[in-house]
Amino acid sequence: MHRMDPVSQPALIDGFGRRISYLRLSLTDRCDLRCSYCMPERMQFLPRAEVLSLEEAHRLALAFIDRGVTKIRLTGGEPLVRRDMIELVRALGRRLGSGLEELTLTTNGTQLRQFAPDLAEAGVERVNVSLDTLDRATFERLTRRDRLETVLDGIAAAREAGLKVKLNTVALKGVNEHEIPAMIEWAHGEGHDVTLIEVMPLGEVDGERIDHYLPLDAVRSELENRWTLTPSGHRTGGPSRYVNIAETGGRLGFITPLTGNFCEGCNRVRVTATGQLYACLGGREQVDLRAAVRSDDPDRALAEALDTAMAIKPERHHFAIREAGEAPALDRHMSVTGG
């Protein structure tokens, strides 16, 4: 789809010549699950006053669209637990075809039975659903909640509503590694693409992530022994690189921040639920968009803040899985930055 409105303000181009066209916007740091690699059981959530109002989030999103952002992914925490978030989805949906080309979200799926029809009606066409296992006991251990059936029902509801579903699966040594082929077979049988993700060292959790780190090159080799994998040119605007699997007839993506750096083609920035723009998921460079949106002249302040963000966006991330006992590379949880 082509843009209908001319870009009235300069496009967002960083210091390395990369054009920023993709915004990941977190609506909340809260969540109804407690995935063990993502957050501790007793996660301290932010005071509500620190979180952007939905009106502020909307204003921020429009500022990005005016600067040439064509794709927005809503995330969290769990975006669907934010009260009235569907109003924001509807408001942004009205910009589809007029600046915005794609509006999507990443969800754990627990609330999809309730919201899938509204999302589809607002113009959302695809959702990413995070699912790391099809085994009820493993799901409960991993997320600390017994909600597998609810998530599977949510995925079915999304499909019934006409949403395209992509599954995101974090590959975890000793947790779901033996289940990965079966999950791929199931997902492809249901018509869903799957993307495997390496666990990243973001924020303190209760256990040691090093225990569960599973490099995807090893997973890929094992899958290659089992099936015929051919590289696919398919792209979704994110860092995933895809292969087609002849035997299952489906597509499999790999997100490999640790074994294969994907920063060169980076086209995105992230905004947290408190309006902090992080120029890189793995870096500390940040700009306070909440201060800008709450200032006396928000339009000007936001334009300046976005220029600053482009100036500070780093060339690449520098995180790596640390040895046992070492602090995580970044003290921010993925649920805070927005996955």
Torsion sign over Cα 123, 50, 32, 198: positive
Per CB under 6 A, the list member of 12, 20, 23, 31 interacting with ligand SF4 is 31
The Cα–Cα gap between 233 and 111 comes to 32
What's the half-sphere exposure (Cβ side, CA atoms, 13 Å) at 269?
A: 37
- CB burial string 251-278: b at 16+ within 10 A, e below: bbbbbbbbeeebbeebbbbbbbbbbbbb
Of residues 171 through 230, those in contact with ligand SAM by CB under 6 A are: 197, 199-200, 202
Q: Enumerate residues 6+ apart whose C-beta is below 8 A from 272.
A: 26, 29, 278, 336, 337, 338
Shortest separation between residue 151's beta carbon and ligand SAM, angstroms: 10
- The partner residues of 213 in beta bridges, in order of sequence, read 172
User: Residue 266: helix, strand or coil by DSSP?
Assistant: coil
Part in contact with ligand SF4 (CB under 6 A); list of ranges 2-10, 29-37, 48-56, 242-250: 29-37
Torsion sign over Cα 252, 257, 260, 266: positive
Per CB under 6 A, the list member of 36, 108, 133, 236 interacting with ligand SAM is 108
Decide: is 276 part of the binding site for ligand SAM (CB under 6 A): no
Decide: is 43 part of the binding site for ligand SAM (CB under 6 A): no
Part in contact with ligand SF4 (CB under 6 A); list of ranges 7-15, 27-35, 187-195, 302-310: 27-35
Decide: is 79 part of the binding site for ligand SF4 (CB under 6 A): no
The Cα–Cα gap between 229 and 184 comes to 13
Decide: is 31 part of the binding site for ligand SAM (CB under 6 A): yes
Part in contact with ligand SF4 (CB under 6 A); list of ranges 75-83, 208-216, 241-249, 264-272: 75-83
Part in contact with ligand SF4 (CB under 6 A); list of ranges 2-10, 74-82, 90-98, 263-271: 74-82
Decide: is 14 part of the binding site for ligand SF4 (CB under 6 A): no
Element (H, E) at 169: strand 164-171
Decide: is 76 part of the binding site for ligand SF4 (CB under 6 A): yes
**Of ligand SF4, ligand SAM, none, which one sits near residue 34, judging by CB under 5 to 8 A according to partner kind?**
ligand SF4
Of residues 250 through 309, those in contact with ligand SF4 by CB under 6 A are: none
Nearest to 245 by CA among 170, 184, 166, 179: 184
Per-residue x/- marks for ligand SAM, 129-148, CB under 6 A?
A: -x------------------
The Cα–Cα gap between 208 and 327 comes to 10
**Of ligand SF4, ligand SAM, none, which one sits near residue 166, judging by CB under 5 to 8 A according to partner kind?**
none
- 176: burial class by Cβ within 10 Å (0-12, 13-18, 19+)? buried
Per-residue x/- marks for ligand SF4, 206-225, CB under 6 A?
A: --------------------
Nearer Cβ to ligand SF4 (108/176):
108
The Cα–Cα gap between 122 and 225 comes to 43
Which residues contact ligand SF4 by CB under 6 A? 31, 33-35, 38-39, 76-78, 108, 130, 335
